[in-house]
Amino acid sequence: MRTLQQVRDAVDEIAASSPSRLFLVVLFLVISVFTALLSLPAASVKHTVTPLHDALFTATSAVTVTGLTTVNSGEHWSLFGLIVIMVAMFIGGLGVITLASILAMAVSRRLGVRGKLLAQQSMNTNESGRLGEVGTLLRIIITTTTLIQMGLAVILIPAYWFEDRDLGDAVFHGLFYAVSAFNNGGFVSHANGLVGYEHNLLITMTVMVGVFIGSLGFPVLMVILTCRHHVKRWSLHAKLTVVVSIILCFAGAVVLGALEWDNPRTIGEFSFGDKILYSLFGSVMTRSGGFSVVDQNELNPTSMLITDALMFAGGGSVSTAGGIKVTTIAVLFLAIAAEAKGHSDVRAFGRRIPEGAMRVALSVVVLAATLVTIGCALLLWITKEPLDRVLFETISAFATCGLSVGLSAELPPSGKYILAALMYAGRLGTITLAASLAARQRDQRFHYPEERPIIG
């Protein structure tokens, strides 16, 4: 009892004094648990111990819902191993702040005022609401996300049964891809992934819709479920997320489709309808889904660069997607537009965006670009691989996307640890930075004299 009380006191102290550190510790502990499980002989088909760098890489990729792999998931992992990965994706998809909040409330029975402020800010809940409602909101998150994933599974299970006529496999694959799609995990339970099922519209469309819904984020889903089609009642965050997500999806589909239209190594041999479908499918997956029906190595150099940009953009805040988030992009572009027009305020949908939000957005972009640059430089130094392949894999890791040119499997252990660190930072860093900065903003009692430096 004394040990349990000490643990509660320690968790309560961290949650009260440094919630960001609690988030970091919780994510590390969850990854460690799943690394240990994947290292067990029962987790591999050959019943042998998986090397630490591969087990850690896979666990990190699953918990951070990335999808990068160093081994063929459908061939290397046993049924037990795949179930472990599926559970890791489900838990990781809840989000690090949600996980840390649940742990703090379960162990110490209270989250702490600063922890509740960060959780409230990260979920975009009403600032006038009571902090005591955060616990209720966490339960709603778990229930809602579980129901959505079960709904996807209800569609995918019959689809796989009609394809393979094996009920047991259909149930497992349907559940696995439902979890992997909604959580933007990108993991596959078949040796060839979705290849072989690319002409099954029920499977591909369901996976694509699941990825898109998951990428919107829980605050947006709650607004949509509450206000439905009454767009005027939507929050500014929901409007920006949905609008920018749709723009990126269709703009990416048009650009990628045009660039790859005649490429026989990708979609060049597809029918007209399939070219349209897989252009949209590819665009959605670049923004954190990670599923693919074509070899990313065969993309045109320009297509690879566009894919890099879409992966870096990512999806919605407090979602299962990664990247710098679409609202970050929206705020920065709105600020640029306001500056170009000479407006003192940054406005969107009849609302004024505070300067603090712009500072947070800029901080997120600079942090993300810095981490990608450092990771890319280290991998270039270790591997001597071409820049385009290294940059692609680096951005995919940091943005927790999961699309790959196969470099992850070719890396030495040191390179795999670097990518694992990038996945960890990508899932934790920008979320924690944005939430902590927003929660710490306060009025200053004095200001220094103003002086404008030369910019540009």
Q: How many angstroms separate the CA atoms of 196 and 181, rounded?
A: 17
Q: What's the whole-number mean pLDDT along residues 176-190? A: 91
Mean pLDDT of the 337-360 span: 84
Q: What percent of the chain has pLDDT over 90?
A: 41
Of residues 85, 62, 326, the one with CA closest to residue 185: 62
What is the band of 82 on the pLDDT scale with cuts at 50, 70, 90? very high
Average pLDDT over the chain, rounded to an integer? 82
3-state secondary structure the chain: CHHHHHHHHHHHHHHHHCHHHHHHHHHHHHHHHHHHHHHCHHHECCCCCCCHHHHHHHHHHHHCCCCCCCCCHHHHECHHHHHHHHHHHHHHHCCHHHHHHHHHHHHCCCCCHHHHHHHHHHCCCCCCCCHHHHHHHHHHHHHHHHHHHHHHHHHHHHHHHHHHCCHHHHHHHHHHHHHHHHCCCCCCCCCCCCCCCCCCHHHHHHHHHHHHHHHHCHHHHHHHHHHCCCHHHCCHHHHHHHHHHHHHHHHHHHHHHHHHCCCCCCCCCCCHHHHHHHHHHHHHHHHHHCCCCCCHHHCCHHHHHHHHHHHHHCCCCCCCCCCCCHHHHHHHHHHHHHHHHCCCCEEECCEEECHHHHHHHHHHHHHHHHHHHHHHHHHHHHHCCCHHHHHHHHHHHHCCCCCCCCHHHHCCHHHHHHHHHHHHHHHHHHHHHHHHHHHHCCCCCCCCCCCCCCCC
Higher pLDDT, 348 or 312: 312
- Check residue 154 and give its pLDDT: 94
- What would the pLDDT profile of 246-285 be if each residue is shown by its tens digit? 999 999 999 999 999 999 998 888 888 889 988 999 999 9
pLDDT of residue 36: 95
* Greater pLDDT, 194 or 448: 194
pLDDT of residue 455: 64
What is the pLDDT confidence band of residue 22, given thresholds at 50, 70 and 90?
A: low
pLDDT, tens digit, 9 for 90 and up, residues 53-67: 999 999 999 999 998
Q: What is d(CA 379, CA 407) in angstroms, rounded to the nearest whole number?
A: 10
More confident residue, 166 or 188: 188
Cβ atoms of 14 and 25 closer than 8 Å: yes
Q: Which residue has the tokens 């790859």?
A: 260
CB-based contacts of 267, cutoff 8 Å, min separation 6: 257, 260, 261, 274, 275, 278, 279, 294
Calculate ∠ Cα 40-42-47, nearest 5°. Answer: 100
pLDDT recorded at residue 108: 45
- More confident site: 359 or 415: 415
pLDDT band at 198 (very low <50, low <70, confident <90, very high): confident
